[in-house]
């Protein structure tokens, strides 16, 4: 069984601020998370508003699939449940985009039953399915294959007790590795074009340790079924993020220390009162204390970004670096430039842009244990803002929301 994964690709500032003061790798600086609309990897035609999902990875001969499972150690129906979870992941991602409505069909069609892409579905059948489900396009899981592998290593630990005597202990490190390969096609019956043909391999692993026995360490791992279901769900989410603008979180750090005014502005930011915080920071940007002035200038960039004023945010970030040597300002300016580009990308994708058929090579992505890839938020939550007119520069100048689904038959590991 194979191994392959996706890539992901912030905005439109339909932005909600989820603030928390935590200690990051950046030290004692508080941080904020901005929820931003990340562009898809390409735009779909404007006539596509409803996408139906179809599972076409069912093996043509059940007996052959059972034999394969016996030879590879798969549990019965492991690939079938995994494929269903891949479709669930895709559906979950598409329910969290303002661009499309998704129809989850539960339809299963016979395909290759392995990692090989079958011949495309006939346009006659595509049109019939789209008419049946009221869809403008079909996102089809055309191929699916999974593989799991677990092992345990013994580790010898040497230390000295309080009396200086060497003590030798043993511990056991268990690992579960899951790999799923998926092949997707996106059919557009109106133009009779396959808009996307994409092979991807998702890899994920779990690591647990025990000072007891090897068996105890292995029991801490998820089951093969759970590991495949979780990995497959993530792979489906990633394909949804490939074809639709999706809500993601972007982390930002800012300055709190300096004087009582900085602390007051911090409290305003914590209360999501960015205008109030900006009023205080703006009073400090000309402070004779250049360190304080630089920090306030940097924070002004964040206040502007939080309110959707990206051009002003870029001006402030650049000024914090060029005039005050705030090194983070240089990196922040690069992030804002990228966001300005992505705002335009999302705008075009939300309007719908004509595209040529795509046939991209396979992608591989590795997800470490404990990483969450499911996007959060579909429609702009209350308190979000959109890009607005620029008035704060240094120079003075969809669809119905559905609940998130969980991988079927899966209990997330501790």
pLDDT digits (tens, 9 = 90+) for 170-222: 999 999 999 999 999 999 999 999 999 999 899 999 999 999 999 999 999 99
Q: Can you tell me the mean pLDDT for 285-294?
A: 95
pLDDT (tens digit per residue) in 232-278: 999 999 999 999 999 888 999 999 998 999 999 999 998 889 999 99
Residue that wins the pLDDT comparison between 85 and 31: 85
Assigned token pair, 104: 């989850």
Residue 13: pLDDT over 80: no
Using DSSP's 3-state secondary structure scheme, residue 372 falls into coil
Neighbouring residues of 344: CB distance < 8 A, sequence distance ≥ 6: none
Residue 381: per-residue pLDDT: 32
Q: What is the pLDDT of residue 75?
A: 54
Sole residue written with tokens 């930011």: 269
Q: Name the percent of the chain lying above pLDDT 90.
A: 62
With cut-offs at 50, 70 and 90, classify the pLDDT of residue 392. Answer: low
* pLDDT score recorded for residue 35: 86
Structural domains in the chain plus CATH codes: 16-249+352-367 (no CATH), 256-350 (1.25.40.10)
As a whole number, the mean pLDDT across the chain is 80
Confidence of residue 32 (pLDDT cuts 50, 70, 90): confident
Mean pLDDT of 325-346: 95
Count CB atoms within 10 A of the CB of residue 46: 12
The residue-averaged pLDDT of 74-101 equals: 88
Residue 372: pLDDT above 70? no
pLDDT number for residue 29? 86
Beta strand pairing status for 31-38 and 246-253?
antiparallel
Ramachandran assignment for 282, one of left (phi > 0), alpha (psi -120 to 50 degrees), beta (any other): alpha
pTM attached to this predicted model: 0.72
Nearest residue to 145 via CA among 233, 78, 238, 220: 78
Range from 140-149, 185-194, 355-364 carrying the lowest mean pLDDT: 355-364
Q: What is the pLDDT of residue 17?
A: 41
Q: How far is CA 131 from the centre of its chain?
A: 31
Ranked by mean pLDDT, the top range of 242-251, 351-360, 384-393 is 242-251
The pLDDT value given to residue 239: 96
Confidence band of 20 (pLDDT split at 50, 70, 90): very low
**What is the structure's pLDDT at 31?**
85
201: enclosing H helix or E strand: strand 193-210
Question: Between 385 and 388, whose confidence is greater?
Answer: 388
> Residues 179, 172: contact at Cβ < 8 Å?
no
In contact, 231 and 181? CB cutoff 8 Å: no
């Amino acid at each position: 069984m194979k191994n392959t994964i996706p890539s992901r690709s912030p905005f439109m500032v339909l932005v909600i601020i989820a603030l928390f003061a935590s200690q990051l790798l950046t030290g004692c600086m508080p941080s904020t998370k901005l929820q931003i609309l990340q562009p898809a990897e390409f735009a779909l035609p404007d006539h596509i508003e409803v996408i139906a999902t179809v599972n076409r990875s069912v093996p043509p001969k059940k007996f052959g699939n059972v034999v394969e499972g016996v030879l590879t150690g798969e549990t019965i129906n492991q690939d079938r449940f995994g494929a269903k979870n891949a479709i669930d992941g895709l559906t979950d991602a598409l329910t969290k985009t303002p661009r499309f409505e998704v129809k989850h069909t539960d339809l299963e069609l016979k395909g290759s039953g392995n990692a090989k892409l079958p011949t495309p579905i006939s346009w006659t059948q595509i049109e019939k399915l789209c008419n049946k489900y009221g869809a403008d396009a079909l996102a089809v899981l055309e191929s699916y294959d999974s593989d799991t592998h677990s092992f345990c290593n013994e580790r010898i630990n040497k230390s000295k007790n309080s009396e200086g005597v060497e003590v030798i202990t043993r511990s056991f490190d268990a690992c579960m590795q899951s790999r799923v390969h998926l092949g997707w096609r996106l059919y557009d019956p109106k133009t009779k074009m396959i808009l996307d043909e994409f092979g991807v391999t998702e890899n994920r692993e779990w690591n647990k340790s025990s000072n007891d026995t090897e068996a105890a360490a292995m029991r801490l791992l998820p089951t093969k079924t759970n590991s495949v279901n979780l990995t497959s769900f993530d792979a489906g989410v990633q394909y949804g993020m490939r074809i639709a603008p999706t809500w993601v979180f972007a982390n930002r750090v800012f300055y709190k220390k300096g004087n009582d005014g900085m602390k007051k502005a911090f409290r305003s930011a914590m209360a999501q009162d960015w205008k109030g915080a900006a009023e205080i920071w703006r009073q400090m940007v000309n402070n004779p204390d250049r360190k304080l002035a630089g920090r306030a200038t940097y924070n002004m960039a964040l206040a502007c970004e939080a309110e959707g004023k990206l051009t002003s945010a870029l001006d402030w970030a650049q000024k914090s670096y060029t005039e005050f040597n705030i090194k983070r300002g240089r990196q922040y300016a690069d992030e804002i430039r990228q966001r300005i580009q992505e705002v335009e990308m999302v705008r075009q994708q939300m309007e719908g842009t004509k595209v040529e058929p795509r046939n991209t090579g396979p992608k591989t992505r590795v997800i470490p244990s404990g990483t969450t890839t499911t996007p959060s938020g579909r429609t702009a939550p209350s308190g979000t803002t959109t890009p607005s007119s620029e008035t704060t520069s240094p120079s003075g100048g969809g669809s119905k929301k559905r609940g998130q689904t969980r991988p079927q038959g899966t209990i997330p590991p501790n």
